[in-house]
């Protein structure tokens, strides 16, 4: 497919940019371009076709099954987008007077209240822009808490070896030292190993439950107790909340602070580079450290305030507000029972898919899973030379987005599936049939799979190069 620059033809144009309606301001000469910006010149129809063609080459939830584990790629109802598009939400300015945005402050306040109820927290900031940003904010909360009490010895954050990569990264960014704890044979935290590493230097623990293997740790109360007994705090990575919302709450599992991914669980699509939101919730004793501004409510209405010992701001203004509008719409549309039903179906779908697939592929931890599960293709690799990558790439030919590959790191040749609650039994059955067909192909013609996909616009890009050295800029030849 040609780039817009290659399609460009001098003199052709479209008038999308309106005439300037403010007085012109002339920059000083040294700030001006030496030559005209060389923008591609196209007609509107060429431009429209270009992007439509591009859109056809990609794969989204609206195109088909998207079981990308740990990402919760579910269908997000259109009504959520519609609400976020309302003028009263979309066209306001963050510096507008509080009196004129009472409705928006109410959205922030009510979303916070509902998310606190769902998670068992006492207060919450909606400022962080992503999960990892929430982790960083939560760790600063923990840091502030210890330092405020004059406890300067606590430099370690304990992270299980099954953790999402952002956990150790955030802990390092927040100035902590990361201590790894291994998993036990069941895929949970090894309690004996945990006891060995805790002490006066423990600032806290970061954990997601269900973990990235899709398993709920049955020792969770013991785990948080071990940390609390040495004076540490427990941080809950809530990116996997889709499995438990409406059923069990991190606050009741013993966690002191948490983040959520609104762009996974609560109606904003994940991935694609759009805005996200990683609210951070905490128990009462941490609320004074939360980043400002927070939204409060009194007899005169809603107002903004800065918490007493705030860590400061972690992002401009109030976070990605329209993502919050979508989350509130989603929760109110589902209602209390609907939220519970969603997590129930997410878990049911994952277990159904796992049970059908395990007759062909090995399941990494062969027990009841939560909203996702991990296959281990080590045996297939050894016997037939077919890797997790080969199987994932082959599924593209069938219009299925690949599952998460080679993660979590503790499972070799891992494929991690998360079918989500919005898929029907028929869709899951069709997907399983595809994976069975690929399995049979692996037995009869492994070579074919090494070069899959065979019917996609691109086959096997160099993934490292594509991630590390993306070509984002067009170089004119002359
Ligand atoms: C997605 C995810 C994160 C990070 O969230 P981002 O919004 O991508 O920064 C953290 N932990 C887990 C378990 C996740 O799945």
Q: Residues of 345-372 as b/e, b for ≥16 C-beta within 10 angstroms?
A: bbbebbbebbebbeebbbbbbeeebbbb
Ligand 1 atom nearest to CA at 237: 11
Residue 356 alpha carbon to ligand 1 centre in Å: 28
Residue 43 is classified by DSSP as: -
pLDDT at 236: 98
Ligand 1 atom nearest to CA at 263: 7
Counting ligand 1 atoms within 8 A of each CB, the residue from 68, 162, 166 with the most, and so the one to mutate, is: 166
Among residues of the chain, what percentage have pLDDT more than 90?
Answer: 88
DSSP, residue by residue, 99-155: GGGHHHHHHHHHHHHHHHHHHT-SEEE----SHHHHHHHHHHHHHHHHHHTT-----
Structure tokens at 150: 């004059």
The alpha carbon torsion through 241, 247, 252, 257 (nearest 10 deg) reads: 20
pLDDT at 447: 97
Q: For residue 273, is pLDDT > 80?
A: no
Residues in the chain: 478
Q: How confident is the model at residue 38 (pLDDT cuts 50, 70, 90)?
A: confident
pLDDT at 429: 98
Q: In whole numbers, what is the pLDDT of the chain averaged over residues?
A: 95
Alpha helices in 230-377 (DSSP H): 250-253, 262-265, 321-357
Residue 345 phi/psi, 5-degree rounding, is -70, -35
Cα gap 445→463, rounded to integer Å? 25
Residue 235 is classified by DSSP as: E
Counting ligand 1 atoms within 8 A of each CB, the residue from 72, 132, 168, 320 with the most, and so the one to mutate, is: 132
Check pocket membership of 130 for ligand 1, CB cut-off 6 A.
yes
Asked if 133 and 167 count as a contact pair (C-beta separation under 8 A), the reply is no
pLDDT tens digits, one per residue of 355-389: 999 999 999 998 999 999 999 999 999 999 999 99
Asked if 320 and 129 count as a contact pair (C-beta separation under 8 A), the reply is yes
State the span(s) of the chain assigned CATH 3.90.1150.10: 343-463
State the span(s) of the chain assigned CATH 3.40.640.10: 78-334
| Nearest residue to 210 (alpha-carbon basis) of 80, 350, 324, 65 | 350
Structure tokens at 231: 């004076």
Ligand 1 atom nearest to CA at 212: 13
Counting ligand 1 atoms within 8 A of each CB, the residue from 74, 139, 261 with the most, and so the one to mutate, is: 261
Q: For residue 441, is pLDDT > 80?
A: yes
Check pocket membership of 270 for ligand 1, CB cut-off 6 A.
no
Check pocket membership of 132 for ligand 1, CB cut-off 6 A.
yes
User: Helices 321-357 and 425-444, interaxial angle, to 10°?
Assistant: 50
Helix (H) or strand (E) holding 427: helix 425-444
pLDDT tens digits, one per residue of 172-201: 999 999 999 999 999 999 999 999 999 999
Cα gap 267→274, rounded to integer Å? 13
Q: For residue 272, is pLDDT > 70?
A: no
Residue 243 is classified by DSSP as: G
Ligand 1 atom nearest to CA at 264: 1
Check pocket membership of 166 for ligand 1, CB cut-off 6 A.
yes
pLDDT at 19: 85
Write the class of the CATH domain 78-334: alpha beta
Ligand 1 atom nearest to CA at 132: 9
Check pocket membership of 276 for ligand 1, CB cut-off 6 A.
yes
Cα gap 406→243, rounded to integer Å? 22
pLDDT at 391: 98
Write the class of the CATH domain 343-463: alpha beta
Check pocket membership of 268 for ligand 1, CB cut-off 6 A.
no
- Judging by DSSP bridges, how do beta strands 414-417 and 404-405 pair with one another? antiparallel
pLDDT tens digits, one per residue of 303-312: 999 999 999 9
DSSP, residue by residue, 75-100: ---HHHHHHHTSHHHHT--TTS-GGG
Residue 166 alpha carbon to ligand 1 centre in Å: 7
- Nearest CA residue ID for atom 3, ligand 1: 131
Counting ligand 1 atoms within 8 A of each CB, the residue from 71, 130, 131 with the most, and so the one to mutate, is: 131
pLDDT at 13: 79
Q: Position of tokens 């306040």?
A: 109
- Nearest CA residue ID for atom 8, ligand 1: 131
Asked if 357 and 432 count as a contact pair (C-beta separation under 8 A), the reply is yes
Q: pTM of the predicted model, to two decimals? A: 0.93
- Nearest CA residue ID for atom 15, ligand 1: 70
Cα gap 358→361, rounded to integer Å? 5
Structure tokens at 60: 């989204």
Check pocket membership of 164 for ligand 1, CB cut-off 6 A.
yes
Q: For residue 415, is pLDDT > 70?
A: yes
More confident residue, 268 or 16: 268
Structure tokens at 134: 């929430």
Among residues of the chain, what percentage have pLDDT more than 70?
Answer: 99
Residue 159 alpha carbon to ligand 1 centre in Å: 14
The alpha carbon torsion through 192, 229, 238, 145 (nearest 10 deg) reads: -140
Residue 189 is classified by DSSP as: B
Check pocket membership of 237 for ligand 1, CB cut-off 6 A.
yes
- Region 324-335: mean pLDDT is 98
Residue 202 phi/psi, 5-degree rounding, is -80, 115
Q: How confident is the model at residue 257 (pLDDT cuts 50, 70, 90)?
A: very high
């Amino acid at each position: 497919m040609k780039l817009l620059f290659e399609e460009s033809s001098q003199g052709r144009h479209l008038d999308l940019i309106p005439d300037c309606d403010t007085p012109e301001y002339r920059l000083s000469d040294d700030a001006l371009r030496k030559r005209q910006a060389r923008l591609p010149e196209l007609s509107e129809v060429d431009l429209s076709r270009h992007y439509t063609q591009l859109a056809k080459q990609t794969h989204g939830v609206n195109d088909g099954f998207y079981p990308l584990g740990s990402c919760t790629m579910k269908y997000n109802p259109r009504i959520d987008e519609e609400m976020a598009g309302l003028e009263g939400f979309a066209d306001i300015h963050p510096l507008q007077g509080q009196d004129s945005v009472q409705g928006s402050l109410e959205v922030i306040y009510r979303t916070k209240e509902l998310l606190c109820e769902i998670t068992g927290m006492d207060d919450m900031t909606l400022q962080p822009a992503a999960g990892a940003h929430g982790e960083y904010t939560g760790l600063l909360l923990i840091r502030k808490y210890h330092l405020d009490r004059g406890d300067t010895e606590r430099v370690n954050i304990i992270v299980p070896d099954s953790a999402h990569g952002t956990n150790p990264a955030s802990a390092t960014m927040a100035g902590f030292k990361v201590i790894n704890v291994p998993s036990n044979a069941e895929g949970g935290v090894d309690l004996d190993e945990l006891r060995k590493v805790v002490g006066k230097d423990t600032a806290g623990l970061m954990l997601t439950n269900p973990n990235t293997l899709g398993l709920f740790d049955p020792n969770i109360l013991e785990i948080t107790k071990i940390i609390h007994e040495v004076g540490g705090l427990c941080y809950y990575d809530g990116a996997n909340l889709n499995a438990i919302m409406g059923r069990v709450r991190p606050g009741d599992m013993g966690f002191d602070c948490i983040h959520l991914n609104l762009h996974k669980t609560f109606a904003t699509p994940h991935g694609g580079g759009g805005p996200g939101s990683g609210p951070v919730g905490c128990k009462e004793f941490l609320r004074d450290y939360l980043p400002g501004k927070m939204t409060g409510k009194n007899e005169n209405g809603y107002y903004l305030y800065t918490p007493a010992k705030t860590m400061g701001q972690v992002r401009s203004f109030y976070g990605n507000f329209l993502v919050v509008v979508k989350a509130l719409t989603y929760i109110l549309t589902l209602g209390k029972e609907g939220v519970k039903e969603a997590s129930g179906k997410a878990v049911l779908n994952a277990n159904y898919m796992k049970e059908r697939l395990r007759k062909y592929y090995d399941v990494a931890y062969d027990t009841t899973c939560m909203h996702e599960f991990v296959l281990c293709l080590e045996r297939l690799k050894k016997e037939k030379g077919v890797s997790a990558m080969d199987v994932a790439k082959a599924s593209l030919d069938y219009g299925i987005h690949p599952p998460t590959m080679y993660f979590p790191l503790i499972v070799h040749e891992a494929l991690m599936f998360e079918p989500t609650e919005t898929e029907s039994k028929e869709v899951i059955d069709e997907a399983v049939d595809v994976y069975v067909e690929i399995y049979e192909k692996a037995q009869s013609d492994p070579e074919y799979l090494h070069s899959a996909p065979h019917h996609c616009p691109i086959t096997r890009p160099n993934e490292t190069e594509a991630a590390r050295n993306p070509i984002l800029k067009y170089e004119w030849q002359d």
